[in-house]
């Protein structure tokens, strides 16, 4: 009697999706970073295989190596998290993967840009209103 064998193929798309989710990255952001549509990212994540060049670009955006994606195993990740937890002392290692000041400055610049656009819009409204009041 023959038993069905499980495919030894690795589903790279699912691994990309899972790493993206763990990193808190949306498909839209990944698409923008790669210069493709969100639908393309969705198709990549449904693909069993991904071209090496594409995988390298995705890995760079996700902050991992292409080998990290290929070798990603959620079970080992969970085991690693569980084994590093010590019940006797609550020890959280806060390792920032970004500079908080850089993120703050990005937000400040974004707010500045939004303010300037809002100000320009208000100036346009004022000009339109001035034009209408002189027509009367």
User: pLDDT tens digit string along 86-126?
Assistant: 444 444 455 556 677 888 899 999 999 999 999 999 999 99
Answer with the residue of higher pLDDT: 46 or 79: 46
CA pair distance 96, 73, nearest whole angstrom: 23
**Which pTM value belongs to this model?**
0.52
CA pair distance 99, 39, nearest whole angstrom: 31
Contacts of 56 (CB under 8 A, 6+ apart): 66
């Amino acid at each position: 009697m023959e038993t069905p064998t499980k495919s030894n193929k690795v589903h790279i798309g699912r691994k990309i999706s899972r790493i993206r989710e763990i990193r808190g990255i949306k498909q839209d952001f990944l698409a923008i970073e790669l210069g493709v549509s969100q639908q393309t990212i969705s198709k990549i994540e449904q693909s069993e295989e991904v071209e090496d060049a594409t995988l390298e670009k995705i890995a760079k955006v996700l902050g991992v190596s292409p080998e990290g994606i290929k070798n990603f195993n959620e079970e080992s990740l969970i085991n690693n998290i569980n084994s590093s937890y010590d019940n006797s002392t609550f020890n959280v290692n806060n390792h920032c993967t970004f500079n908080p000041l850089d993120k703050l400055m990005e937000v400040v610049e974004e707010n500045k840009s939004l303010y300037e656009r809002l100000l320009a819009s208000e100036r346009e409204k004022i000009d339109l209103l001035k034009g209408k009041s002189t027509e009367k």
